[in-house]
Amino acid sequence: MSFHLSYRAEPGNPWFSWQYVRDNSDTILAALREHASLTGRAVLLAALVALPLAVLAYWYRRLTGPILALAGVLYTVPSLALFAFIAPYLGIGAVTVLTVVVLYALLVIVRNAVAGLNQVPPEVRDAAEGMGYGRWARLFRVDLPLALPGILTGVRLATVSTVALVTVGVVIGRGGLGQLIFAGFQNNFYKAQIMTGTVLCVLLALVLDLFLAGVGRLLTPWLRSRPR
């Protein structure tokens, strides 16, 4: 998505300008919507891939090391290099951005999900087996619910990091708020534009994190009832 940006720099080049926000409100909102959409889709896709991997690592302990190692290797590859590797095959668009940010989110979610599953008390697992629960029934009725706090922690961390990483998509023209920030540098270091994009990134990460924290409280009511 390309954004039409209009500029009217103010004297002194301030770090914040209501005039800039008013003159470019449509552009700013479009960038914010794209950024939020890319972030939400990326985290959802990462969770859909990471949770089965975490379950495999939980069921087959010998796979834990290779799965975490692979996710760790992907995490250490520079994002710009990943864009350069992937773009020739997937083209320049949202799919490429999503692929890159999903790969980075995998490690955070997998690691926290595995940690949460491993923290399920052995006596609880034994009791579930004694009640006749098979592997799948125990997973969905016992293991995953008890591991939910750890899984949600991973999703929250992945969401915050994804908000920041999506800005790098500016290299292929799909960076959401990153395009505002980058355009500010191109526009003779227009501080108001850079600051607007930066502040909105921070606010978006904060809002999404608080939303996921609220979802976590709703899904884990037993944690609120614990005595302090």
- In the chain, where are the structural domains located? 19-220
Better-scored residue on pLDDT, 53 or 12 = 53
pLDDT at 224: 66
CB 146 within 8 A of CB 133: no
pLDDT tens, residue by residue, 121-155: 888 888 888 888 888 989 999 899 999 999 999 99
Reply yes or no on whether the pLDDT at 89 is more than 70: yes
> Domain spanning 19-220: which CATH class is it, in words?
mainly alpha
Interior/surface letters 96-108, b for 16+ CB within 10 angstroms, e for the rest: bbbbbbbbbbbbb
pLDDT at 19: 77
Count how many Cα atoms sit within 13 Å of the Cα of residue 63 in the half-sphere of its side chain.
Answer: 12
User: Who's near 147: CB < 8 A, 6+ residues apart?
Assistant: 113, 116, 117, 119, 120
**In the predicted model, what is the mean pLDDT of residues 63-82?**
88
- pLDDT band at 116; cut points 50, 70, 90: very high
pLDDT at 11: 56
Q: Residue 20: is it exposed, middle or buried by C-beta count within 10 angstroms (0-12/13-18/19+)?
A: buried
Q: What is the reported pTM?
A: 0.84
